[in-house]
Amino acid sequence: MTAWTIQCGYAAYYANTVTVEADTLEAALEAAIAAANDDPHWKPLDDCGSTFVDAAAQGDDADPWADFGSVLPVPARFTERGEPPLAILIMDGGLIHEVRLDHGTCRIAVHDYDVEGVEPERLEQDADGHWFVRTLWGAWPDDPPAPPDPEIPPAGLAGDG
């Protein structure tokens, strides 16, 4: 067996409730952060976040940190941030010209059911047996690769959606 050195952590939450006066919500939020940071009355909360991985290295005496980052890449689902959400866009009879991700990050899988003329090796089958081409936008490095060699659809059925 291989030995691994893994640094795990969890977020311990503290809170400081302050009262401020301001003309707008944004001004109140800025004032509250400043007031809370200057106030020594922070209290620990009763709950903690899930355990996550900060850094990893192979070996029983290895240092898991190098150049301020993990020696080995840590898949997103094991990090504090976690795996990003995935939105699926179904496309049939049209084109997607742009996908915008506002206010955060997201992965988008486009399922294009217009498959006439598409190379068979690029096709995937959905749960209902319909053929489509999947494209990932905003993919994370540890996303699984596309399925290997899908079953080639019979002639004339590739575009029946």
- CA torsion angle 139 145 146 147 (round to 10): -150
Q: End-to-end distance of the chain based on CA atoms, in angstroms?
A: 48
Q: In the chain, what are the domain boundaries?
A: 4-78, 84-161
Round to whole Å and give the CA distance between 52 and 26: 32
pLDDT of the residue at 84: 76
96-111 residue pLDDT tens: 766 666 666 777 888 8
pLDDT tens digits for 91-147? 767 777 666 666 667 778 888 888 888 888 999 998 899 999 888 777 566 665 555
Rounded to whole angstroms, the Cα distance separating 158 from 19 reads 63
Question: Is residue 96 within 8 Å of residue 80, measured between CB atoms?
Answer: no
Predicted confidence band at 45 (pLDDT cuts at 50, 70, 90)? Answer: confident
Distance set, CA 21 to CA 27, 29, 103 (Å)? 9, 10, 27
CB contact at 8 A, 121 and 101: no
